[in-house]
Amino acid sequence: MVVTIASLAVLAAVPWPVYSLLALRQVRDWRPAEARKAALGLLGYAAGVAGAWALLPQSLPYLAGAGALWLLGERIRAHNRWGAWSGLPPGSLSLAPHGPWTDEAYFRKGRERYGPVFKFTRYFKPCICVIGHERAAEILGKKRDALGLPPLAMSHRIPKGYIRFMAPEDREALRVILREGLDCALNEARMARLRAEIDRRMEAAVGAGAFEPRGFCHDLTTDLMLDVIYGVMPGDPAAPAFRAAIATLRRGEAERAGEPEIEAALVRLGALARERADRGDGVLQAAVGADPGRAEDETLLRNLAYITLLGSTDVGDFIVWALKILSEAPEWLADLRAAPDARLADMCGATVKEILRLEQSEFVIRRATEDLTIDGFRVPKGWMIVISTRENHRDPEVYDAPHAFRPARFLGGGRPVVGYRPLGAFDRTCLGAPIVDLVGTQVVRALARGIDLKVTGGDPRRYAAQHWRPNPAFRVAFACRPKVA
């Protein structure tokens, strides 16, 4: 009896690391479908153990022995010197640490404990975290030919993949098409229209009481991106159909829409895009105007769909941070409000840079496509390399009071250049930089000139889908304030 109870206890402990990680809300929210599958797997395991106990009770001690060996192996790998003999960096490869999901200072603590290059596990995969500006530049620049990206499901829905996952020559060709398209689309008339739309939407929310800002911001930025990419303005009769298809892709990214639904949305967006290809001056029309054959290019059309989705998500989430951070910085808001027009543009730009320094750009991630060496440490082929932009942006040697919100550091000549990379680097630099700048600046300007901000909730921050975010209880209310002359 004692042996049976001890065996069952060991067998119950075996899946504990997996179970405890999947039980985290941050992980369940990020990958609900995968979490469901894993939960089924755990049920299957429990059924297997129960079956063995009922049918072959004498096998339990042997199974428990195998389980105990597995647990011991996991603990040995968790020792920070594990793998040192083969050149691996220090750090724990414990199977399912919670820190990356629950502790904003996880990478900082890792650096303090192990140094700027250390190993850890993220979602069961072995990773190397790299901190330091020169190291980041060397990896993203000089070592880029030895790096790939971890695959994303959505890329498989596009014939040649999503831009970030394409073969280098295809990606460079698409970057040229997109850059040229964005140059055309972001003309003076459109930029004025986007700014007016931001003002209009923010003013419309004035006095409407507290609202959930993420939905509000995503609705706004989706409309802005539909205008830039497809030339579809909010009042356009086709706008609801575009919005509905993008909304389905958004649910798909959160694993809340199934493959057939996502595929139907992509087909629908392709048809809508083809109908619009010769009307308007968005990125789509610029691309098709230069080469009419592109209207049938599924890789281009599906990339445009996902760029609309992901660009609007990133900028929308950035605005949410802007609202949160500015609500906690009344002195800077007062400075913005008192600033003469001639100075306001510079101050708004500095505000956007400082918010991006602090939030919404946590890391860039790569996968070693061959064995690599970083700082003398071995990085085995297939391992993930996580370059911590967050820690680089909080380097006390570059930034005074690195955790504090101090936009003035970006004013005039005070802009630190070393290691400021919120929008990526080198051949993979973000193509949406002008959009981020335009939208961010206009939101800050609206708060400086016309709108008062009240917030509730928001803390503690929560990690969700690759980013730290204000708590889901975060609510915002806009109120009118007298215009400053």
Query: Which of 21, 27, 129, 307 contacts ligand HEM by CB under 6 A?
Result: 307
From the list 457, 475, 433, 441, the residue with the least C-alpha distance to 183 is: 433
67 interacts with ligand HEM by CB under 6 A: no
367 interacts with ligand HEM by CB under 6 A: no
CA distance 304 to 301: 5
31 interacts with ligand HEM by CB under 6 A: no
Residue 380 or 424: the one with the smaller Cβ distance to ligand HEM is 424
Q: Is the dihedral of CA 373, 378, 383, 387 positive or negative?
A: negative
163 interacts with ligand HEM by CB under 6 A: yes
Residue 386: CB minimum distance to ligand HEM, A:
11
Query: Which of 431, 438, 451, 453 contacts ligand HEM by CB under 6 A?
Result: 431
CA distance 288 to 295: 6
From the list 332, 385, 384, the residue with the least C-alpha distance to 358 is: 332
Please choose, out of 44-52, 89-97, 263-271, 307-315, the segment that lies near ligand HEM by the rule CB under 6 A.
Answer: 307-315
Q: What is the DSSP letter of 58?
A: G
436 interacts with ligand HEM by CB under 6 A: yes
Which of 216-251 are b and which e, b meaning 16 or more Cβ less than 10 Å from the residue's Cβ? bbbbbbbbbbbbbbbbbbbebeebebbbebbbbbbe
Residue 67 or 297: the one with the smaller Cβ distance to ligand HEM is 297
The separation between the first and the last C-alpha atoms of the chain, rounded to the nearest angstrom, is: 84
DSSP string, 197-257: HHHHHHHHTBTS--B-HHHHHHHHHHHHHHHHHH---TTSTTHHHHHHHHHHHHHHHTT-S
Residue 226 or 344: the one with the smaller Cβ distance to ligand HEM is 226
102: its two tokens: 């629950």
CA distance 362 to 390: 5
378 interacts with ligand HEM by CB under 6 A: no
Cα angle vertex 102, ends 100, 104, to 5°?
75
Count how many residues are written for the chain: 485
E strand segments, 380-438: 384-387
Residue 166 or 277: the one with the smaller Cβ distance to ligand HEM is 166
Residue 252 or 311: the one with the smaller Cβ distance to ligand HEM is 311
Please choose, out of 129-137, 308-316, 327-335, 475-483, the segment that lies near ligand HEM by the rule CB under 6 A.
Answer: 308-316
Q: What is the DSSP letter of 139?
A: I
Residue 461: CB minimum distance to ligand HEM, A:
16
Please choose, out of 6-14, 65-73, 244-252, 360-368, the segment that lies near ligand HEM by the rule CB under 6 A.
Answer: 360-368
224 interacts with ligand HEM by CB under 6 A: no
423 interacts with ligand HEM by CB under 6 A: yes
Residue 90 or 422: the one with the smaller Cβ distance to ligand HEM is 422
Total residues in contact with ligand HEM, by rule CB under 6 A: 21
452: its two tokens: 């008062």
Residue 187: CB minimum distance to ligand HEM, A:
16
315 interacts with ligand HEM by CB under 6 A: yes
422 interacts with ligand HEM by CB under 6 A: yes
Residue 35 or 387: the one with the smaller Cβ distance to ligand HEM is 387
Residues that bind ligand HEM (CB under 6 A): 163-164, 171, 175, 307, 311, 314-315, 318, 360-361, 364, 422-424, 428, 430-432, 435-436
